[in-house]
Homo-oligomer: A and B are copies of this chain.
């Protein structure tokens, strides 16, 4: 077999929670921390960690605001993030095609 390049899967996106964040932001546009946390059924620490990693790579941006006295952080996918997600999906589709051809 011509090896499928698993290293071609963007590991910055591949983790389930990362993929969840990217997908939710692509589908729904901007989402705040609390909504993301509920949507992805996760906890503060883990969500914070992965949001931070995605922001470091410039795949998402965050914006802090105050709602009354409470801070609220909203996250958005960037054009670079959209591109990375599209490439990830393309790699995954290639892999699936390859696997289905051999199933």
Chain A positions 24-43 with a Cβ under 8 Å from a chain B Cβ: 24, 26-28, 39-41
Q: Mark A4-25, 1 if CB is under 8 A from B, else 0.
A: 1011010100101101100110
A54 within 8 A of B: no
In the complex, A98 has a CB within 8 A of chain B: yes
User: How many copies of this protein are present in the complex?
Assistant: 2
CA–CA, A103 and B86, complex, Å: 8
Q: Which DSSP category, helix, strand, loop or mixed, fits chain A's interface?
A: helix
Tell which of B1, B14, B27, B40 touches A99, judged by Cβ atoms closer than 8 Å: B27
Answer whether A23 and B93 are a contact pair too, CB < 8 Å, given A7-B41, A14-B16, A103-B86: no
Asked if A3 is an interface residue, CB under 8 A from chain B, the answer is yes
